[in-house]
Amino acid sequence: MQIVIQRDYLAQAVGQVSKAVSSRTTIPILTGIKVAATSEEVIFTGSDADISIQASVPVEVEGKEIVKVVKLGTIVLPSKYVTEIVKKLPEPLVEIEVQDNNVTLIRSGSAEFNLNGLNADEYPKLPQIDDEKLLSLSSDLFKSMIRQTSFAVSTQESRPILTGVLWNLEQSELSFVATDSHRVALRKVHVDATEELEIKNVVIPAKSLNELNRILHDEDEVIEIVVSDNQILVKADHILFYSRLLEGTYPDTSRIIPQSSKSQVTVETKQLLQAIERASLLAKDMKHVVKLSTIAGDRIQISSNTPEVGKVVEHIHAQEISGEEVQISFNSRYMIEALKAIDHPEIQIGFTGAMSPFIIRPTENDRILHLVLPVRTY
Amino acid sequence: MQIVIQRDYLAQAVGQVSKAVSSRTTIPILTGIKVAATSEEVIFTGSDADISIQASVPVEVEGKEIVKVVKLGTIVLPSKYVTEIVKKLPEPLVEIEVQDNNVTLIRSGSAEFNLNGLNADEYPKLPQIDDEKLLSLSSDLFKSMIRQTSFAVSTQESRPILTGVLWNLEQSELSFVATDSHRVALRKVHVDATEELEIKNVVIPAKSLNELNRILHDEDEVIEIVVSDNQILVKADHILFYSRLLEGTYPDTSRIIPQSSKSQVTVETKQLLQAIERASLLAKDMKHVVKLSTIAGDRIQISSNTPEVGKVVEHIHAQEISGEEVQISFNSRYMIEALKAIDHPEIQIGFTGAMSPFIIRPTENDRILHLVLPVRTY
């Protein structure tokens, strides 16, 4: 293999695929990044067996030469070194040439690196996924769905299935659900897919989704998602992102979501968020427990009390309060994360009793729902 | 004590003095910030016994009321909580009122914190330092002196005296010296002080200097420095910074600085720095060893070789090379840190043999000197 490539394209591709490479892998070849030069493009691949990322650099972009492929071929270069090298190259053009024994020359200006590479034949093949179950989505919307749900997954490995986000697609409605058994985050959107296309019990590791969120551009582009039995493939501009799925049956969260409520409170999202953040400041040693009570008129009280440290009380104005009086305690961390995930200015909270889960929804969007279990206080 | 204070002034003062508070102290009262309201100002104090910081907020700034002191008094508030609280207060005005049993009300808008305080009588007195040995310096210059030397101190506690920076003042020339026994950083400046004023063997912990560097404003203001037998006091705008000195005798580094050299190389600082950074990329597993050689004509070669990983070679242009041929190996980390500390575009390096320390100086400033010991390679 011998190519001359523009440094910025090289650095971007290497940076993207290196995110899939783990330094703790037990498979030596996976510590490397595979580079394959074809006559149309140079393909970079990184993988940790769970996640694989492929980035391609075309030989030409808008009539401008990006890569000159002098000799076709493949090589695997150690990710740890090559990611650092590409950031520090002195000149805008980089020559990469595989020599004897997989030793690879990387030359830019007067700087010459001779890096020991590995034979690319040993690099594992990426899964073959046919485009049977395919749906399209704007990357913006997809990223916001990840952001609004993945924070609620479990971080404990005792129930591995809860470390993932459940995807469902039925009648062109795609939903993401996450729960750690103390709270639920749910986000639905309408997507462009045939009505017959169904996705059921597909659970994607939150780690994969967070990585995907980082790697996708912020600009609005259309991405394609392909789901197979044990893999998902996301196709974006010059990027292929593969992730394995989690095995097991995801719990049915719809059964714990109350269908009606005894009390409803409508408040400004930001005002409630900030009051809870303040109340939680002194509650660190009390498992972050904060209390919400409705009080006469149109106000609610947010408070916390940690005898050794002190207490906080704050009243905020509610847009509307209806139904029974409310006195409920909850882990402020769950509430803060849910409120931060809601981009709408106003929310309605529905309560069904001091020991029953309560529901938070934006008043202007019924496709977003957060559920929080209260905590018992004595 | 009862005051009404502008939130931004409160947050700034608390933020500054909290930097001296350690969460690992064994003295309970030192986990707090002392607040003292007098008729002219409110004084905030934080301390970990080694470093103490005092910030004062005057009742009036340029005719504008900053603090209204309703009732004089003092209180100690837990630093861990009060620093978080002041960042999250909702309104620009804050009322602080000490109630029974040192319980302190902090009120802003409708948010009310009741924080358990401690009796300020138990708070240790700050050292009394008379203004006998006093020198003035611009904060800009002082900060650059810290930045150009403190990186070279030892981080190992086996020789505690080397974890500090040595100050000397003689004939109005102030010098800072730091060494970890593998390298030396030296910076001299002329200061406004009487010729009789001398400072000898005063060693200030690098930790204190780095904290001071963070706390001093970036604007150019004049600071005053007072040195006593076992303490240093730095006075800046509304800030007093106290640090203990290190005990012991600092080694005489002047003896290891060669007075002449066998070879001289003049190069652009940035070009050399970047070449060494590149060469060091592959040398992580080889104790960061990088080699510098002069080659025929006006070039030098920077290289490294780690058999398992690969090798790097780069040639850079030298402004001037004179004297004997050079072939020397060194820890690239020491060289990179020295070169980063030099703000001048061009340096001269003086060599006196492959196993002797070499000297780096900016060509345009003879008051800056870095010494690096080479390493033996086989």
Residue B122 has a pLDDT of: 94
Q: Which residue in A75, A96, A114, A315 has the most chain B C-beta atoms within 10 A of its own C-beta, making it the best mutation to test that interface?
A: A114
Is residue B211's pLDDT more than 80?
yes
Q: What is the ipTM of this complex?
A: 0.89
Task: Label residue A10 by pLDDT band (50, 70, 90).
Answer: very high
Residue B213 has a pLDDT of: 94
Q: Which residues of A touch B313 (CB under 8 A)?
A: 111-112
Q: Which residues of A touch B14 (CB under 8 A)?
A: none
Arithmetic mean of pLDDT, B117-146 = 91
Is residue A298's pLDDT more than 70?
yes
- Taking all residues of chain A, what is their mean pLDDT, rounded to a whole number? 94
Q: Tell me if B88 and A282 make a contact (CB, 8 A cut-off).
A: no
Arithmetic mean of pLDDT, A187-215 = 91
CA distance B85 to chain A (A): 7
pLDDT digits (tens, 9 = 90+) for A301-355: 999 999 999 999 999 999 999 999 999 999 999 999 999 999 999 999 999 998 9
CA distance A235 to chain B (A): 33
- Chain A residue nearest residue B78, CA to CA: A309
Q: Are A145 and A139 in contact (CB under 8 A)?
A: no
Residue B262 has a pLDDT of: 96
Order across the sheet with A299-306: list the strands: A327-331, A289-295, A299-306, A310-317, B111-116, B103-108, B93-98, B2-6, B67-71
Is residue B116's pLDDT more than 90?
yes
Arithmetic mean of pLDDT, B107-121 = 97
Is residue A131's pLDDT more than 80?
no
Sequence ranges of chain A with CATH classification 3.10.150.10: 2-122, 134-253
Is residue A284's pLDDT more than 90?
no
Sequence ranges of chain B with CATH classification 3.70.10.10: 257-372
pLDDT digits (tens, 9 = 90+) for A31-74: 999 999 999 999 999 999 899 999 999 999 999 999 999 999 99
Task: Label residue A378 by pLDDT band (50, 70, 90).
Answer: low
Percent of chain A with pLDDT over 70: 100
pLDDT digits (tens, 9 = 90+) for B328-368: 999 999 999 999 999 999 999 999 998 999 999 999 888 99
Residue B123 has a pLDDT of: 96
The secondary structure of residue B374, as a DSSP letter, is -
**B90, B281, B316: residue with CB nearest A88:** B281
- Taking all residues of chain B, what is their mean pLDDT, rounded to a whole number? 94
CA distance A232 to chain B (A): 35
Residue B130 has a pLDDT of: 81
The secondary structure of residue B353, as a DSSP letter, is -
**A116, A311, A314: residue with CB nearest B309:** A116
Q: Which residue in B76, B114, B274 has the most chain A C-beta atoms within 10 A of its own C-beta, making it the best mutation to test that interface?
A: B114
- Chain A residue nearest residue B117, CA to CA: A309
Q: CATH second-level architecture of A134-253?
A: Roll (3.10)
Residue A42 CB contacts under 8 Å (≥ 6 apart), including other chains: A3, A5, A13, A35, A36, A56, A57, A59, A67, A69
Q: Which residues of A touch B113 (CB under 8 A)?
A: 278, 281-282, 310-312
Residue B5 has a pLDDT of: 98
- Chain A residue nearest residue B113, CA to CA: A312
B274 HSE (CA, 13 A, CB side): 17
**B308, B314, B316: residue with CB nearest A112:** B314
Task: Label residue B195 by pLDDT band (50, 70, 90).
Answer: confident
Q: Tell me if B116 and A84 make a contact (CB, 8 A cut-off).
A: no
Q: Which residues of A touch B76 (CB under 8 A)?
A: none
Topology (CATH level 3) of domain A257-372: Proliferating Cell Nuclear Antigen (3.70.10)
Query: Superfamily assignment of A2-122 in CATH?
Result: DNA Polymerase III, subunit A, domain 2 (3.10.150.10)
pLDDT digits (tens, 9 = 90+) for B146-158: 999 999 999 998 9
Q: Tell me if A315 and B277 make a contact (CB, 8 A cut-off).
A: no
Q: What is the 3-state secondary structure (H, E, C) of chain A?
A: CEEEEEHHHHHHHHHHHHCCCCCCCCCHHHHEEEEEECCCEEEEEEECCCEEEEEEEECEECCEECEEEEECEEEEEEHHHHHHHHHHCCCCEEEEEECHHHEEEEEECCEEEEEECECHHHCCCCCCCCCCCEEEEEHHHHHHHHHHHHHHCCCCCCCHHHHEEEEEEECCEEEEEEECCCEEEEEEEECECCCCCCEEEEEEEHHHHHHHHHHCCCCCCEEEEEECCCEEEEEECCEEEEEECCCCCCCCHHHHCCCCCCEEEEEEHHHHHHHHHHHHCCCHHHCCEEEEEEECCCEEEEEEEECCCEEEEEEEECCEEEECCCEEEEEHHHHHHHHHHCCCCEEEEEECCCCCCEEEEECCCCCEEEEECCCCCC
Q: Which residues of A touch B89 (CB under 8 A)?
A: 278
Give the number of other CB atoms < 10 A from CB of residue A340.
15
Cα gap A68→A39, rounded to integer Å: 9
Arithmetic mean of pLDDT, A134-145 = 92
Residue A245 has a pLDDT of: 97
Cα gap B218→B236, rounded to integer Å: 12
Partners of A88 in beta bridges:
none
Q: Which residues of A touch B281 (CB under 8 A)?
A: 81, 84-85, 88, 113
Task: Label residue A164 by pLDDT band (50, 70, 90).
Answer: very high
CA distance B167 to chain A (A): 37
**A88, A113, A316: residue with CB nearest B310:** A113
Residue A62 has a pLDDT of: 94
Q: Which residues of A touch B112 (CB under 8 A)?
A: 312-314
In Å, how far are A137, A138, A216, A217, B112 from A220, measured between CA atoms? Answer: 10, 6, 10, 8, 44
Residue A30 has a pLDDT of: 96
Is residue B140's pLDDT more than 90?
yes
Give the A-side interface with B, CB within 8 Å.
78, 81, 84-85, 88-90, 103, 110-116, 274-275, 277-278, 281-282, 308-316
Instruction: Find tokens 């972050």 and name the residue.
Output: A288
Partners of A173 in beta bridges:
A170, A190
Is residue B233's pLDDT more than 90?
yes
Write down the H helix ranges in B186-268: 206-215
Give the B-side interface with A, CB within 8 Å.
78, 81, 84-85, 88-90, 103, 110-116, 274-275, 277-278, 281-282, 308-316
Task: Label residue B322 by pLDDT band (50, 70, 90).
Answer: very high
Arithmetic mean of pLDDT, B295-308 = 93
Residue B129 has a pLDDT of: 86
Is residue B378's pLDDT more than 70?
no
